[in-house]
Chains A and B, each alone.
Chain A
């Protein structure tokens, strides 16, 4: 169980940085947005991993079963909100990318900066 826990956190670190690399190093705007969404998913993984309790189940009371061990409901509530907020910002970001394409004719970062400089 120890290995699994550490592995979750290492995968969180790796996914975080993969997403971050896509945001900073890829010039294509849509690739940046996909990288941002990978970044967000890595953060969700971190929080939900912290909420797990040994031998616990999902925090839903079953009728007639007493003395159950539940996993922590609080990180789950926070991440539920975060997922919805994430998709909202992604939708808005995609709208901006489409408008940029219409105005500049390109969605590559260096080409947009070229056009802006003129």
Chain B
């Protein structure tokens, strides 16, 4: 039964991807990309990757679609017809597909517990997590503690992307002289004149924020963690910005606060690492943070996940504001 479901989802993904490439209407392509991400998230769930499914759904299907739509509003909505000579590209793609498919026959059997990937480090992590860290979610344990250094790098990548976008949009657009665009309402007004989305949105935003906090702090006991929580909280703030208007959202969460969040999360993460060094352990060693090493691990993981969540929230909201507040040239 699961086999059928898996095959169905995968086939649907290929059909969606083909539709994305083929359509010339960019808005359609972006919405189909959101659908593609959601199908991918469902497939991840079938493959026992609960954390990854949550992240793909929140970030791939949610935030990514919003960013693409923001960029579409500032650029073009239609794609010009592609130029002629695409046969070479099609040929290269077809040959490479066949080569990769030929290579897949060499892979170990799907689900084989004796496959090489399950042999070295993974059983060690699964063994050591209950004794050293004692939290139920092994993925969070590996992400935050055993491989905490990689996650530090990831937070800095998010930080750099945020800095990059703010830097790119720091230059004001050169306005071409011309008649001002007439709109049915002021552009900065949000959805003020649309009652139903506004009422329902205002009803839902507190619960979305609550859910974001739940995912943040429940990441050790179930699927969740800083990245997903950051995306969910950012989604709530973006919803508020859409409903009440850019200006109001920037009054509630000013850009200086967002800059503080962006830098503060990464700072918190680094500070926990340095605190470990100052207390006698190595960088990002949480077991020296308190007298009991297991409690130290808990505190360390909690603090760095908060740092991750704060940075991701700040960056995603800043990027959204950068796109949304940009006047169309």
Task: Show the binding face of A for B, using Cβ within 8 Å.
Answer: 1-22, 24-31, 33-35, 37-38, 41, 44-45, 48-63, 69-77, 79-81, 83-85, 87-92, 94-99, 101-102, 106-108, 110
Contact in complex: B75, A97 (CB < 8 Å): yes
Contact of B47 with A37 in the complex, beta carbons under 8 Å: no
Q: Which of A11, A31, A56, A90 contacts B14 (CB 8 A)?
A: A11
For chain B residues 52-71, which have a beta carbon within 8 Å of chain A?
52, 55-56, 59-60, 63-64, 67-68, 70-71
Task: Categorize the interface residue count of chain B.
Answer: 35 or more
Other-chain contact of A60, B67, B82, B137, B319 (Cβ < 8 Å) = B137
Q: Are B165 and A61 in contact (CB under 8 A)?
A: no
A62 touches B136 (CB 8 A): yes
| Contact indicator A30/B173 (Cβ below 8 Å) | no
Kindly list chain A residues whose C-beta atoms are within 8 Å of the C-beta of B52.
44, 48, 76, 79-80, 83
A94 contacts B323, C-beta separation under 8 Å: yes
The residue that B227 contacts in the complex, of A19, A84, A98, with Cβ under 8 A, is A84
Q: Is the beta-carbon distance between B56 and A81 smaller than 8 angstroms?
A: no
B286 within 8 A of A: no
Closest Cβ of chain A to B66, distance in Å, is 10
> Number of contacts between A and B (CB, 8 Å)?
298
Cβ–Cβ contact B168 & A74, under 8 A: no
* Contact residues of B: prevailing secondary structure: helix
- Majority SS of interface residues in chain A? helix
Residues of chain A within 8 A (CB-CB) of B3 are 1, 3-4
Would you list 8 pairs from A and B whose C-beta atoms are within 8 A, ordered by A residue? A1-B109, A21-B89, A34-B30, A38-B17, A41-B60, A51-B117, A87-B63, A95-B165
The CA-CA distance from A44 to B44 in the complex, in Å, is 9
Measured between beta carbons, the chain A residues less than 8 angstroms from B174 are: 102
* B14 and A18 contact, CB distance less than 8 A: yes
**CB distance A4 to B110 under 8 Å?**
yes
